[in-house]
Amino acid sequence: MYAGDNYEQCRATADWLLSKTQVRPTVGIVCGSGLGGLAEMLKDPQDFKYSDIPNFPRSTVHGHAGRLVFGTLKGKPCVCMQGRFHLYEGYPVQKITLPMRVFKLMGVETMILTNAAGGLNQDYKVGDVMVLKDHINMPGFAGVNPLAGPNDDRFGVRFPCMSDAYDRELRRLAFDVASELGYSDFLREGVYCVLGGPSFETIAECNMLHRLGADAVGMSTAHEVIVARHAGMRCFALSLISNQSVMDYDSQKKANHEEVLETGRLRAEQLEKLVSTMVARLEHYSNSH
Residues 217-226 pLDDT 10s? 999 999 999 9
pLDDT for the residue 264: 73
Q: Tell me, what's the pLDDT at 284? A: 65
- Structure confidence at residue 286 (pLDDT): 56
**pLDDT, position 17:** 98
Given a cut of 80, whether residue 50 has pLDDT beyond it is: yes
Query: What is the pLDDT, as a whole number, of residue 194?
Result: 98
- Strands 110-119 and 27-31 turn out to be parallel
Backbone angles phi, psi at 85, to 5 degrees: -115, 150
* Consecutive H or E run containing 101: helix 98-106
Three-state DSSP class for 36?
A: coil
For residue 44, give every residue at least 6 positions away whose Cβ sits within 8 Å of its Cβ, in sequence order, or none: 71, 72
pLDDT at 249 over 70: yes
Q: Quick one: pLDDT at residue 275?
A: 95
Output the pLDDT for position 24. Answer: 98
CATH code, domain with 252: 3.40.50.1580
In this prediction, what percent of the chain has a pLDDT beyond 70?
96
pLDDT, mean over the chain: 92
pLDDT at position 266: 79
Question: Average pLDDT, stretch 162-174?
Answer: 97
The pLDDT of residue 67: 94
Measured over the CA atoms of residue 150, residue 153, residue 158 and residue 163, the dihedral's sign is negative
Distance from chain centroid for Cα 2: 22
Residue at 196: amino acid letter: G
Q: Do the bridges between strand 187-194 and strand 129-137 make them parallel or antiparallel, or are there none, so unpaired? A: parallel
pLDDT over 70 (residue 289)? no
pLDDT at 61: 81
Residue 113 has pLDDT above 90, yes or no: yes
**Highest mean pLDDT of the ranges 68-82, 240-254, 266-280:** 68-82
Residue 3 has pLDDT above 90, yes or no: no
pLDDT at 210: 97
Residue 12: CA atoms inside 13 Å, Cβ hemisphere, count?
10
Length of the chain: 289
Predicted confidence (pLDDT) at residue 1 exceeds the cutoff of 80: no
97 C-beta neighbours (distance < 10 Å), count: 26
Taking the C-alpha atoms of residue 119 and residue 122, their distance in angstroms, rounded to an integer, is 7
Nearest CA to 115 out of 52, 31, 175 is that of: 31
Q: Is the pLDDT of residue 123 over 50?
A: yes
Which H or E run contains 261?
helix 257-288
Which residue range is the domain that position 49 belongs to? 3-288
How many structural domains is the chain composed of? 1
- How many C-alpha atoms does 234 have within 13 Å on its Cβ side? 15
The set of catalytic residues is: 33, 64, 86, 88-89, 116, 219-220, 243, 257
CA 246/CA 210 separation, integer angstroms: 11
Residue 45: band (very low, low, confident or very high) from pLDDT cuts 50, 70, 90: very high
- To which H or E segment does residue 174 belong? helix 168-181
Is cis: bond before 57, omega within 30 of 0? no
Please write the tens of the pLDDT for every residue from 27-39.
Answer: 999 998 778 888 8
Q: What is the pLDDT of residues 173-200, one digit of tens each?
A: 999 999 999 999 999 999 999 999 999 9
pLDDT above 60 for 2: no
Average pLDDT of span 249-269: 81
